[in-house]
Structure 1
Amino acid sequence: MCDDELIPPSADMTEEQWLRADPALAEGPVGERVRAMRAPRRRAVLGGVVAGAAALTVLPGGGTRAAAAARDGKFPLPTAPNRSGEYAVLLTGDAGTGEEAQHAVAAAARAVCRAEGVSLAVGLGDNIYENGPESDHDSEFRTKFEDPNSGLDFPWLMALGNHDCSGLIPGSGGDPSRGDREVSYAKGSPRWYMPSRYYNVALPSAGGGDPLVEFFAVDTNPVSSYVAQLDPHYRWDGPYMREQRRWLDGALKASRAHWKIVLGHHPYLNNGKHGSAGSYDGFVIGHYTSGIHLKELYEEVVCGRADLILSGHDHTLQILEPTTRTGGTRQIVCGAAGKAGDGRAHFGHPATWQNFSDHGFMVLKVSGRAMTVDAYTVDVATRTARLAQSVRTKSPVRSAAALT
């Protein structure tokens, strides 16, 4: 093993270790942002099963328009907040099994989405298990995406997962070029939104001016694959990743959105069994499996600039705390829409709430005043959702450093 492939033993430090290594990080603008983002504005939610009757609720602020547009072929991106003055966004990840659990989660989500006025969804990768699609017209797009999500009639911002880019080994992420099939499929699907392998989408404020929220979808596979990339284009230091990094850096700098949200399949921090970037699955050497270069991307380009990192990969539900390590950026892991976790935490990153056993999804609500994340667990047998946790963050205080 070459020396330049060795990774420092701090690849997955705890927050306490991080602060001991550089106590000054807790002071100044970074500390101020962390304290603002972590202010106690969360509430535990007890009970609250969402039953099928909620499916009769009229979708506020745009249901008719979306249905009409679907007849023209594509569900449109929302053009204004709903009647509550916010954008409500469904979050799912690791959904694409085509099995009963996926159908149950989608059925439970339909009821919640109608009640909450959801007009957009995010799919956080592993969209087509186990090997990804074999072509841009593979029947698995229908059985593992369109059919389960029938009735969730709005655009889905889709990200590529390791199973979408399988090589010879299912889930290896060893053939990123397979992701092009999902980009191509988006041209003909009313729901699937993926104009390119990485992209950004800004949603306008009610009164015009700067966007209220902007999403930045990234392709994490070339720097988090279980095998080395053989195609030079997709090497960790190849032209594809260099260009994606330049794009993300420039797009975040240029964005004037009130809220900035980065979504990518592999998480930066994670308390589930896959672990965090830099030491995925216990690996701490090499350029790929550990995710060391994704860790660099998150830390050098995203942390402190974005309000949220949304990820899947781990089949769990986690709302982690904004910390000094993240520069005040909150990590969300939402990968339990098709598979569930092993029932226990493997790491101890500060968390507001986490669940390692149940299937589920989340709903993100953003307005000019606040951002709320509602986490739902789903009983697969009854296809009902339970609101398990709601976390609210007031509008961010932007420092000059956060905008550069």
Structure 2
Amino acid sequence: MKLSRRQFVSTTAVTGAALAADMPAVHAADPALPFIVVGDWGRRGHYDQRRVAVQMGKSAAAMDSRFTVSIGDNFYENGVESVDDPQWQSSFEEVYTAPSLFTPWKVILGNHDYRGNVQAQLDYSHKSPRWNLPARYYTDKQTLPDGATAEFFYVDTSPFIKTYLGSRVNISGQDTDAQLAWLDQALSGSTAQWKIVIGHHPIYTALSDDDGYVHDQPDLIARLNPLLLKHNIRIYICGHDHCLQSVKMDGVTYVVSGAGSETYRPNPPIRGGFASGSHGFMAVRLSATRLDYGLVDMYGNTLFAETITNA
């Protein structure tokens, strides 16, 4: 279901078929947690990164976004060299300048970040009050305005991709077995009403290329996805594909928000999914019983919206 920019800004509910035109505007007492998700963005303001940032600021203000999730490939092409790398200013601080984006940024790493100094991105958490990357993978628990809890599991997917071994994507020394054991234990021990897993790479996608090659990640299907199914995870959010997309497989909704700067025009979606090459981001409102999200372009149009209920 497509929503106009006016509908999105006035309701910010970002719902699917259940959207009501007279829904109240979001405010501090609204019983939902609003936040923004963006990926694949760090290009010194180029490739429409700055235009996406402007609309992110407008939407974040309208929905009273509490934080921004950055799903990796934070700096192109080769990450950063240090905490004083000029890209911190040219690709981040001087681009995301709206007051509504000076909330915490919950950050993970992408494959391009692994081409640079990963430790510098971790260390920047001590330099910037809004950059939050405490470890390569970690959890974050949020209390929703209605009293429910949501736990976010931020995973580090690059070390799982076998084709990166021996490449410029320096994943050497990363123990994927240990990460999976940590995730399994963390999911098992969580008492949150919502468990949301966030990584950089897609697992299942809605895309195939001209030769019929599907953009799925077999390494993650084999190793990460079984944990999503085991723990009844409702949604997995990622980037890497430079587009906006959504697809359902085995009861899990897989959403890609990798359109923060350079994008491409995808082929028509497969598996009954949605895909768009528009520049943009994901907007989310989360309550105890439902997760409402929309994929929003840099003009403020909600291209796709859906509600996921918490079984």
Partner of 1:350: 272
Q: Are 1:216 and 2:153 matched, yes or no?
A: yes
Matched, 1:386 2:308: no
- Pick one of 60, 79, 85 that aligns with 1:132: 79
Structure 2 counterpart SS, 1:44: coil
1-structure distance, mates of 2:158, 2:5? 38
1:195 corresponds to which of 131, 134, 137: 134
Point out 4+ residue stretches in structure 1 off by more than 6 angstroms. Answer: none
Residue 204 of structure 1, aligned match among 133, 137, 143: 143
Matched, 1:264 2:211: no
Q: CA 1:49/1:84 → structure 2, altered by over 3 Å: closer, same or farther?
A: closer
Matched-pair identity in %: 27
Alpha-carbon separation, structure 1, partners of 2:279 and 2:89: 22
- Does structure 2 retain, via aligned residues, the 8 Å contact 1:162–1:225? no
Aligned to 1:153: 102
Matched residue, 2:114: 165
1:312 aligns to 2:239 (yes or no): yes
Q: Deviations over 1:33-65 (max 9, x none)?
A: xxxxxxxxxx432564879xx9xxx9943xxxx
Q: Matches of 1:46 and 1:243 in 2, distance apart? A: 45
Letter paired with 2:39: G
Distance 1:230-1:126 versus aligned 2 partners, 3 A rule: closer
**Higher Rg:** 1
**What is the aligned partner in structure 2 of residue 228 from structure 1?**
165
Q: After TM superposition, give the deviation of residue 265 of structure 1 in Å.
A: 0.6
What corresponds to 2:21 in structure 1?
A: none
Separation in 2 of the partners of 1:202 and 1:186?
18
Contact 2:2 2:302 in 1 (8 A): no
1:255-334 matched pairs, under 5 angstroms: 255-272=190-207, 291-305=217-231, 306-321=233-248, 323-324=249-250, 328-334=251-257
Report the CA distance between 1:117 and its aligned residue. Answer: 1.1
Mark the CA change 1:45 to 1:230 in structure 2 (over 3 Å): closer, same or farther.
Answer: closer
Structure 1 portions without partners, runs of 5+: 1-42, 62-82, 168-177, 282-289, 379-383, 398-404
Q: Which residue is equivalent to 1:184?
A: 123
Give the direction of change, closer, same or farther, for the CA distance of 1:139–1:280 in structure 2 (3 Å limit).
farther
For structure 2, list consecutive stretches of 5 or more residues without a partner in the other structure.
13-24
Deviations 1:313-360 (A, max 9, x none): 001111212x32xxx221000100111122423x62331x321x2101
| TM-score when normalising by structure 2 | 0.84
* Alpha-carbon offset, residue 262 of structure 1: 0.8
**Quick one: distance in 2 between partners of 1:206 and 1:198?**
26
Deviation at 1:309, TM superposition (A): 0.7
Aligned length: 290
Cα deviation per residue 1:356-399 (whole Å; 9 max; x = unaligned)? x2101110110013110111112xxxxx31122221122x22xx
TM-aligned CA distance change 1:50 to 1:250, over 3 Å = closer
The CA deviation at 1:97 is 0.8
2:204 touches 2:221 (CA, 8 Å); kept in 1?
no
Q: TM-score, normalised by structure 1?
A: 0.66
**Aligned pairs (5 A) from 1:11-30:** none
Contact 1:200 1:214 in 2 (8 A): yes
